[in-house]
A = this chain, B = another copy of it.
Amino acid sequence: MPIHLDRARPAGRQVEAEVRRLIRSGALGAGAALPSTRVLAADLALSRGVIVGAYAQLAAEGYLVTRRGAAPLVAALPLEPRSQLEQDVHVAAARFNLRPDLPDLALFPRADWLSASRAAMRRAADTDLAYGEPFGSVELRAQLAAFLSRTRGTVGVHNRIGVHAGSTQALFTLANVLRLNGATRLGVEDPGHRWRTGTLAASGLEIVPVPCDDEGLRTDRLDGLDAVVLSPEHSFPLGLTLSPHRRRALVQWAVANDTIVIEHDYDGHFRYDRAPTAALQALAPEHVAYVGTASAILAPTIRLGWSLLPLRLVEGVAGYTARNLFALPRLEQLTLAEFIARGYLDRQLRRARSAYKRRRDLVAATVPVGRARGGLFVCLPLGSTADEARVLAAARADGFALDGVQANAIGSAEPGLVIGFAASSEPALQRALRRLMAAARP
């Protein structure tokens, strides 16, 4: 048996590894007898005890069949096709970053975050390092209650605020809890986030597209739905704000039919000319589930989101989260709680808002769209005869990262580009917009 030993490492482990390798490679086939422990020990100039131990280990692992008074045999292992290496998907950074779903990551307050994280570690008790609560840490929930009330006009204290591993996980959980509670038909804004639709559909609920017009979601098209998901402050990809009349009609529908509205507030903290409209949730907290996220206001990789729930959904959401994730990471939750308590999040929002406002103005000056009232993107109609897919493909081939309207529609929609203005610095944004407009006008 060709066994090569490296004297620097424990001999027994090396014998095990070598025999394992010979068996796995097929060099030692099923039924082959191994050298006796005495012979192999002599060959390798090792004590017999080392070989006995190695053989015992390999027998315990299933590679060898031991026989009383005889050398072990290679066990008959099932043959498997040899694995193929998969290619890793390399996502290159875009040359022209107009992604509508990203904040400017260069603005992420790394030093503040690290400092809050050190403080969180210092303050955490040993017991805080065990499993956390499936509904989130009370410290963070209390901070979020005050922050969301102050910045988004929500109502409700921490007992109805759940922490999630991002808003996607919040939406996935809510859809599953609604299904478990007997819901079958879930309405979504159409057009609407395609990944959000995918996540909601993965719950097993039937997804029903609800059309939108200039006032936002058509609230006269909700018959027969058990719940509806929308972004009243700023819809994706059209950037619509739900009109006051529709806001009232929507909560009236929810209360009258005892249905649930899921308010997906993914970029509602950004409104540039006045304070944002308060969350719809405040109008009917027992029928509107508010879902928010750290992605747009800090950075997506934080992977923390939150929900503000009708009380009757609290137990179901905590229970489903326990099945799905058992608990949320507590050090990150304590870090965010500290980050909010120190005023860092409000400061970060002020900084980002003022940068994005300048970029919003830059877009309005370069691209034929109105000034966006809020959010991180504008929607540029291409004209009903345009081929959106072709325009998008050409732009992507040219190094643009951006999105399209039809690409996010279930039913028919007018072609349009969804242009994010937050992710790039002003000079980079200007270059990207000019190049895009030059390409758009042949």
Contacts and interface: CB of A to CB of B under 8 A. Distances in A.
A283 B59 CA distance: 12
Contacts of A106: 126
Given A105-B129, A251-B62, A83 B286 contact: yes
B81 A286 contact: yes
Contacts of A274: 53, 57
A132 B295 CA distance: 12
Given A86-B159, A118-B114, A324-B169, A286 B247 contact: no
A202 B131 contact: no
Contacts of A24: 155, 282
21 contacts: A13-B275, A20-B278, A24-B155, A59-B244, A60-B277, A61-B247, A76-B252, A77-B284, A78-B255, A81-B286, A113-B121, A114-B118, A130-B300, A131-B300, A132-B303, A168-B324, A172-B323, A172-B324, A195-B326, A198-B323, A202-B320
Interface of A: 13, 20, 24, 53, 57, 59-66, 75-81, 83-86, 88-89, 93, 102, 105-106, 108, 110, 113-114, 117-118, 121, 126-133, 138, 153, 155-160, 165-166, 168-169, 172, 195, 198-199, 202, 241, 244, 247-248, 251-252, 254-256, 274-275, 277-278, 280, 282-287, 295, 299-303, 311, 314, 320, 322-332
Contacts of A255: 78-80
A129 B300 contact: yes
B325 A166 contact: yes
B300 A80 contact: no
Given A324-B324, A329-B329, 14 more contacts: A61-B244, A66-B244, A77-B283, A105-B129, A132-B301, A168-B324, A172-B324, A199-B323, A199-B324, A199-B326, A300-B327, A303-B327, A329-B332, A332-B332
A314 B130 contact: no
A122 B75 CA distance: 49
A301 B166 contact: no
A299 B157 CA distance: 30
Contact of A248 (B62, B79, B169): B62
Nearest to A128: B301
Nearest to A90: B138
A130 B61 contact: no
A408 to B, nearest CB: 16
A114 B158 CA distance: 29
A323 B418 CA distance: 22
A355 to B, nearest CB: 14
A86 B166 contact: no
A83 B156 contact: yes
A93 B165 contact: no
Given A13-B275, A274-B57, A324-B172, A252 B78 contact: yes
